Structure formats: C-alpha cells, structure tokens
Chain A
Amino acid sequence: MTAKQETTVLKGAHVIDPANGIDQVTDIMIHEGRIAGVGEHIIADDATVVDLTGKYLSPGWIDMHVHAYGTLGFADPDTVGVYQGVTSFVEAGGPGIGTLDEFFALMTDLETDLYVGPFIRPLGLLGLNFIEGDVRTLGDVPITRWVDTAKQHRDRIRYIKCNAMGDYGPGTLHVTKGLAQILGVPLYMHIGEFQLQTPDPVLAYEAFKIAEKGDMITHIYHGNLGQIIDDEGKIMPVVTDALERGVLFDLGFGGYNFSWDIAEKAFAQGIVPYTISSDLQQFNVIRPVQSLANVLSVMMHLGMPLKQLIECVTVNSAKAISLADRAGDLSVGKPADITVFEIEGGRFELMDCYTQTRTADKRVMPAMTFKNGKRFDADMTRGQAESNWFLQIAEDHIPDATAQLSERQLAFLGKLGTALSETDWELSSAERLDIPKALELQALFHRVREQSDLPLREALRAVYDSFVDNKFTMQIGLFLMRLERPFALSRMAEMAAKRPHLAA
C-alpha cells in the first residue's frame, strides 16, 4: 500500500463531535485507520482528499439495539450497519447462554463491529412474540457457565437483556438484574406487553423500579400495555424516579415500540431518550423502521436538536455500553469510525408502529461511512432487499451454497439425519413452542458434531446452507424444529449422497 492510500483528508464538512465540543466546519485526517488530526485546512502530502462541503460529519453511529443474528436476524447484517451510517451495533438478545457459542462461531465476517447483549433465556429470543413473556420458556440460569463465558468474551458482551413482560411477576427481572451484577454489565430491559395474557402487575413499571444507575430501559415511547404515561397523558412517577436515579432510557423504535402519540406527550414533558436505537430486524426493516437514520429523522421531527441527536448515537451510546475507549468521538488516536450525512429537505411521511404518520420537511440521510478508515458509500436499499430479510426454507430446490460444502460437512449431514431419524418433532405453533424439544435437537446436533470432529461454524453452515438460500442464522435447535421432519431427513440424506467418493 502506498502512503497515499493510508492517509485520507475529509475536507469541508460540518463536524459534530459532541464529546469534544466540536460543532463547526473543519477537516479530519485519517491515517492508517485512525483519526490523525482534526482542525481547519489540514494539508497532507500524498493524501486522498474527500471534499465533503455541504455535508455533516460525526463520529460513527452506534446502534445499541439491532437483531443481526437468530430468529429475527438478517442474511447480511452490514446492510443495516456500515451501509447505513452505523459503525458499531449490538445484537439485542438474539442468543442466550445456550447459543452464544453459535453466535460467536457465526458472526465473524462483518465490517460493522458487532457486540452482543445476550438474553436471560438460554436459547435467546424465540421470535414468537406471544410467548416471549412466558416464564416457563426461560429455563436455567447456569451461573458458572455465564461467568466463564463472560470472562472469555468480555469484549463483546455489553449488557444482559430481559423482557419486562408476561404474567409471572417481576421475578425474572430480579434474576436478570442479579446476573448482570455478577457479570458486571448493565441490565437492558424491554418494556411493553404484546402477549396474549393481560398481566398484573404490568412489568414495565417493575422494570423502572428495579433498574439502577446505568441500567437501560428500551422502547420508552411504545404504545402497548405498560406505557410511560398515565390515562391523562402525564408521565408516571416511577419513570421520573428512575430517570433521577440515573437509569438510561433507550428509544428502541422497532416494529411495535414507537407511538407518535406517546412520543409527543412524553417529549413535551421532557422525557427524552439518552440513546437512540433502531431495533432493526427481519420484520420491520421494510417498514416502519428502515434504518437508524430514519429513526433519527423521527426524533428530529419530534423536536430534538441535531447536536443532541448525534450525542444519542455516539458519545451517549459509547458511554452506556462502555465503548468510549474506542468509539463515540473523534479524538486523535481513536479508530476512524465516521459517519457522513446530509439533512435533506422535502416532504417525508414518517410512520410509527401503529397507524400514525407525521409529515416532516427534512430528514437525515447517510452519505458514507468510514470504518477503521475504510470507506463505504451509503446504500439505503440493500437492507430492504427481500434476500436480506425474508427467511424461507428452500423446499423445492437445493441451495447453490451446498456446492461449497466439504466432504466432511456432507458426511456430517448424513450422520445428523440418521440421528434425527431416531427422534420425533413437530413444528411449533404461534402459542406454544416445545422448548425441551428444541434443546434436545440442539444437544443432538452437538453430539453428532463432536463425533464428526467438525468445527461449530462448519457444522452450522452445513445445515443452514442445505435449507436456506441466503446467509441467515438461527439457533440450531429452533432451526431444526422449524423444518418439516420427513423433508429434513430426506434433504440430509440427499446431501450425504453427494459426497464425491459416493458420486464417483
């Protein structure tokens, strides 16, 4: 590489770097992937110069609530990362202690830094929202395993997540809080009910009571049961108490969790998020969430000033999840994680998660991202491609990716099929999921994998690639259970028969 490629000067953008008190037109120099200088009229010999006149530039955005992995995840998570102005994001609850090994094995090739906030349930999020609140799905909390795993992956685990919903009282919130204390990470709680029961007490308010300084509550403007305002539209005292104690409020827009009505009332009373996150997943990327930028546009329309918007996705999120050593500001020496964006004028319909829209006259639109100095031009459409979010089992054809499977992977599929033929399973229903069966299938997968001496990633990919065209991931027990049994067995046998020495 020549020096020219190693040094880049970003010229003429309006830089907003709240942590360093910068809010003016100035230049940024990147050298070898790090911020090398901030100031007016930087001139460097042999540097690549990017003219950003008329654009804004901020530290790379951090989205602390996305679903990149698992039942809600994307085939290509970078589509909602570096391609949409986001340089770091956190998987919010996709895996639990029983599936973190799968998460770590699979989520390795991303351009965007992916952290994780594991779920208290060993399996992680189930993706069936009627039963997410059922305490009987939670299973064990193996403390020793949590401690060992957290020690091994301290750098990637940023919070522990639980859902404050369901009808069994606040016990699970206390359990999760206890675990978070043991591991020394913040507690991250979902509020808002959407299961079939009508719980009493409503756990959202228990969440506000249990949360301590530095703990986080997400979906603060949701419009479901357990809102932060009362029938008269006034902020509930438990909410203001929590805020005064130093509990951090996160937006978590999502597919169910943002109501214009609630947001307008709460915002008018001074309840604003400390961090802005998207909750992007398979089921909301088309609408209403689309991107973190769209969520910023929503907050801008609500009345949040630009500088504060940027704070909420840079320095605040970095502080909330202890990333300030490497992200959230443009100090010299930090990794060159940078988002360049524009404020576009026009007429824009901004949807909430219910039926309300508001018409805005401006919006936030990413232009390019630098991740460790590497440039990505924004592409707001690739996240929306069906291949990125529509997880479909390839029932009528064998996915092309199987052509890359090794002989060992094919042999493994044969053994897995044989082992599976000795047990029985049925697809879940929307109201019922056979968790013990999912765990049994998961254990069976691991047993065959160990016998085959196949690395976890290769074993997982062998299964996914045999059944799905795009690079989706899912907890293996849940994935196997989703397959129709006769079809699964015959496809695995078919794959095993493809082994070269058999074919020859």
Chain B
Amino acid sequence: MAPAPHRILRVKRETHDTFTLTLEVPEEAGGEFAPGQFSMLYVFGVGELPISISGDPGVPGQLVYTVRAVGKATGSLVKLRAGDWVGVRGPFGSAWPVEAARGKDVLIVAGGIGLAPLRSVIYHVLNNRDAYGRLTILYGARSPKDLLYRVDFRSWSRQMDTHALTTVDHGDLRWRGRVGVVTTLFRYVRLVPERTIAMLCGPEIMMRYVCAEIEKNHQLPASQIHLTMERNMKCAAGFCGHCQFGPYFICKDGPVFSYERMKPLLGIYEL
C-alpha cells in the first residue's frame, strides 16, 4: 500500500516534453515486472500517477519509465534529477500476451507516448528472438519533434526479420519521412492472420481505427488483437473506482485487454 522510495539513476531527455527515468531498485523490492504492467509513481507532496514500465525486462535491478509532461504530477516528475527520490508502488495490472505470442509474428502499433509500454515488449521479443516470428513495429507521432526513442528505433529497424516504420501527422521542413496517421502505414505491411498477434497502445480513437483496419482489411480476429486502456486512476488496486470501464477495472483487469473484450464497449459514448 505504501510507496517504496527508489533513487533516480538517470534522466534522459527524449523529446521537448518527454523524459525517461531510470530508477534503482532497492534489493528488497525485487523489481520484477511483465511487459505491459505499470507502477504508481509518487512525487513527494505532489501526487501519485500511473506510469507504464518502458524498460528492458531482461535487465534486472532497475525500473525504467518514460513520462510525457502534460500536467501537475507529470510536470514535476520530469523535473527530478539523478539522485532524487520517487515512491513506487506496483507493478500492477495485466501484461502483453508474450506467452501466447510465442512462435507467432508480432505486430506492434503505437501512437505518441503509447510506444513506452510497448518498448518493454519489443525488448522482450528481441531478447528472445528465436521464440518469435516476424516483428513489425508501426509508430505514429504528431510531429518529427515528438518522435521517441530515435536511437532504439534505428537499431530495431536493422534487426533481422524486423520491420519498423514511422510516420508523423504533420511534417516539418526537414522531415523526409512519411506523413499521415498511423493507419496509413498498413499499406506497407502484409500480415499472416493465422499467426499474428497484434499489440496496440495510443489514444483511444487511434486504437479504434487501427483495430478496425486490422480486423477488416487484414482479417485478424479480435481475440488476437490486444490493446491498453487508459482511465483516471487513484489506487491501482480496485478500491477507488475511478478506472471503471463498464464491467472492468482498468487497473486490475487491464490495462492490457483483448480487443474481443473491449469491442462491445469501445463505441459507447462517454462510458
């Protein structure tokens, strides 16, 4: 229930508003997590907020989070420096179906900060390269200055049997890459529906378009598509009620769900 103090080892600036914090895990805390899980990070006196673990599950002793400063708590979180302390509760929630995906092709579709919770699954697939088939990563950001993990991305795209594509909604003068929403990247990929597991994270509206695209145009059954949901969270333990989405508590039933379970609810206005 009470957060455990963790020391910040490094803060890396990813973009103008997004930073990656690496925390040292105290011995007694363990630090194990499954890709897709999140923690509640406590900033002294400011608040506690849900942040996905974006680090490499194969590297023990540290917890990595990528935070986009959008308000009060995230704003003060990214102002912290190496040596500062944050409180950590967790990890909480469901994980990406990395076991079910064994032996299959993996399709990753991310929008904006949504790449953060998916990065840990990308690490997992690359750490266990032989256990998985083709890895496809489709990533859309608002503009070139919002692109996360540029170094990682270049290295992913050079891996064997890996296809990593980026697009931006709006380019700038120097941008030579693709322009358009993330669904436009689907014209470059061919999926084998029987052996593909898709994992999606991004704004809800984007995920709905992507789900429709891969279900209709690529014949992927809804049960093979997984996505993460985001709702207000105060406790992460099923007590505060804030994260409810129809019958589900996003904090303990999710945040990762199959599209099969989310589909009947996603279209309901203001649910």
Check if A and B associate.
no
Report which A residues bind B (CB closer than 8 A): none
